[in-house]
Amino acid sequence: MAALQFVVEIAAPADRVWAFFLPQRMPLWYGPEMDMELEVSGGASEFAVGQKVRLSGRLGWRVVSLTAVVTGYERMRWLEWRFSDRYGVRGRQQWLLSAVTAETTRLHMEDVCTLPGRFGWLVDLFLVRWSVRSRDRRWLDNLRRLAEGGPRGTPVR
């Protein structure tokens, strides 16, 4: 099981950062390499607990999709969903925002996933953990760049 945590400080107020956690803006930073599409049940403009979210896109020649269910939501502060895909990969992603100052926001992200099968742990250890960490860092760097409204900043640790 990969259990990854990230903390990034963004030089933007929390409300500006949170604007990128709306369903219509999230694909700008979350999954851009896949040209991610995010469909919220009922076409809602904000997330809500219990809501189903379908994420889909293309990774190379392969169409990938997964279904997430929002399990935690507090406007301007917290979003969590649990997901699964057709290959049996399951997990949870969580984002927690807190204001450091009026112009700086700290974002905590947690990404936990498990792979199916007898050797899922081995694939996780040697392949998935590294690739998910790298992907999440790119996504958070995209989010920071968009929220700060400027050129690319320092890489996420």
User: Which domains, ranges and CATH numbers included, belong to the chain?
Assistant: 2-148 (3.30.530.20)
For 124, residues 6+ apart whose C-beta sits below 8 A from its C-beta are 1, 2, 113, 114, 115
Burial 15-47 (b: 16+ CB within 10 A, else e): ebbbebbebeebbebbbeebebebebeeeeeeb
What pLDDT is recorded for position 55? 92
Among 56-60, 70-74, 98-102, 128-132, the least confident range: 128-132
The pair of structure tokens assigned to 63 is 């169409």
Sheet order of strands, 90-101 included: 2-10, 104-114, 90-101, 78-85, 62-74, 52-59, 37-40
Q: Nearest-CA neighbor of 121 among 86, 92, 89, 85?
A: 89
Mean per-residue pLDDT for 43-57? 93
Answer with the residue of higher pLDDT: 147 or 127: 147
pTM: 0.85
What pLDDT is recorded for position 64? 84
Looking at the chain, the whole-number percentage of residues with pLDDT higher than 70 is: 83
What pLDDT is recorded for position 4? 87
What pLDDT is recorded for position 59? 78
Grouping H, G, I as helix, E, B as strand and the rest as coil, residue 36 is coil
What pLDDT is recorded for position 130? 66
pLDDT (tens digit, 9 = 90+) per residue, 88-141? 788 999 999 999 999 999 999 999 987 666 665 555 555 566 677 888 999 999
Residue 155 above 80 pLDDT?
no
